[in-house]
Amino acid sequence: MAVAETQLYSKVLNKVKKRSSCAVLESLLSMGFPAHTANKALAATGHKTVEEASKWLHSHCNDPSLDDPIPQEYALYLCPSGPLHDRLQEFWKESKNQCARNRAHEIFPHITLCDFFTCEDQKVEFLHEALKKVGDRFLNWFPPVISLSLHSSVSYLGFFINDAHANVIKEFAVAFATEASILADCHIKPCTKQLHLTLAHKFYPHHQKTLEQLAKSINPGQNCLWTAALYSRDMRFVNYQILRALFQYKPQNIDELMLNAGDLIYVDRSQQFDVSDGWVIGTSHRTGCRGFLPENYTEKANESDTWVKHR
């Protein structure tokens, strides 16, 4: 009886979610936004609420790329939460303080299930549907505890997933990729190699021992709830540097960028040769506008700070 009730609840919940998603799009269309920009706003904000999508559209009213049919890129991650997540964040902070930044600091703790792929804005709902369907199917098969073992090399430090547990997780990733490829008509490549949770990557060799000592203080058996989540990013700015504005800046010239404290800016370092000292040219994540800005008003941010977690 419990299984039947769970299945019935799942079906009802799916119908409610579909109606809710349609209602969000319909609300945006009723406000006068064209369908292609409404779908773009929903994809860019994680298909969450009318308020977030409409705010994004108003912020991007002067975005020269607003009408461009450029889709987002998506990835499926398995993310820890609870005590293990908190301990991993402590490791991130301490490793940065003692050994400087490395590539692992650019992204939050995760296990990659499906690497980045593209999906048309109007089909993103099918990705959510595929994840829900496959999640329900694997709910009772998924290991309650994932066994992690520490692995270290000259340029990598992280936890490898136990083979027995990894096989189930890989089957889950393959099932999602198959389901989503059919529903959303996109090419998705599930991860079939060694599953891992990276702690440090591309660090200085003389920092290896310090990082290993810090990692040994992490108890991989701590309580943890693992969540499969879709994240998206703007494919135009992959490999750009991300800056965060520390202060507000009001443009003094027409080619300068308005900054609010907390704004994230995409900067291509290969395009800075003709820029005056102390200035950079970048594109605002908040508005999509491009212009010059004073670099001393900013600090370095993480690559994943501009990513969006989908509902």
182 and 135 within one domain? yes
Residues spanned by the domain of 105: 72-235
Among the candidates 189, 208, 235, a domain finishes at 235
Mean pLDDT to the nearest integer, 90-95: 96
Tens digits of per-residue pLDDT, 12-30? 344 434 444 678 889 999 9
Last residue of a domain, one of 192, 208, 235: 235
Measure the CA dihedral 201/206/207/212, to 10°: 90
pLDDT digits (tens, 9 = 90+) for 163-221: 999 999 999 999 999 999 999 999 999 999 999 999 999 999 999 999 999 999 999 99
Residue 2 has pLDDT above 50, yes or no: no
Residue 310 belongs to a domain: no
Shared domain check, 230 and 86: yes
pLDDT digits (tens, 9 = 90+) for 102-142: 999 999 999 999 999 999 999 999 999 999 999 999 988 88
Residues 42 and 153 in one domain: no
21-30, 35-44, 278-287 — which is least confidently predicted? 21-30
In a domain, 67, yes or no: no
Domain co-membership, 192 together with 262: no
Share of the chain above pLDDT 70, in %: 93
Q: Are residues 90 and 168 in the same domain?
A: yes
CATH number assigned to the domain comprising residue 178: 3.90.1140.10
In a domain, 118, yes or no: yes
Whether 110 and 176 map to the same domain: the answer is: yes
Q: Answer whether residue 139 is part of any domain.
A: yes
In this structure, the answer to whether residues 44 and 108 fall within a common structural domain is no
Question: Of the residues 212, 235, 258, which one is the last residue of a structural domain?
Answer: 235
Q: pLDDT tens for residues 210-222?
A: 999 999 999 999 8
- In order, the DSSP letters of 10-58 are HHHHHHHHHHHHHHHHHHHHHTT--HHHHHHHHHHHTS--HHHHHHHHH
| The residue count for the chain | 311
Q: What letter represents residue 124's amino acid?
A: V
* Model pLDDT, residue 13: 40
pLDDT of residue 8: 39
E strands, 195-257, in order? 196-201, 227-234, 241-245
Do 93 and 39 lie in a common domain?
no
Q: How far apart are CA 147 and CA 266, in angstroms?
A: 38
Number of domains comprising the chain: 3
pTM for the model: 0.88
- Count Cβ atoms within 10 A of the Cβ of residue 246 and give its class: 0-12 exposed, 13-18 middle, 19 or more buried: middle
Whether 91 and 138 map to the same domain: the answer is: yes
Residues 67-76 pLDDT 10s: 999 999 999 9
Residue 65 lies in a domain: no
**Domain CATH code at residue 23:** 1.10.8
Instruction: Let me know whether 201 and 156 are in one domain.
Output: yes
* Same domain as 220, residue 82: yes
**In this predicted structure, what is the pLDDT of residue 21?**
60
Residues 107 and 159 in one domain: yes
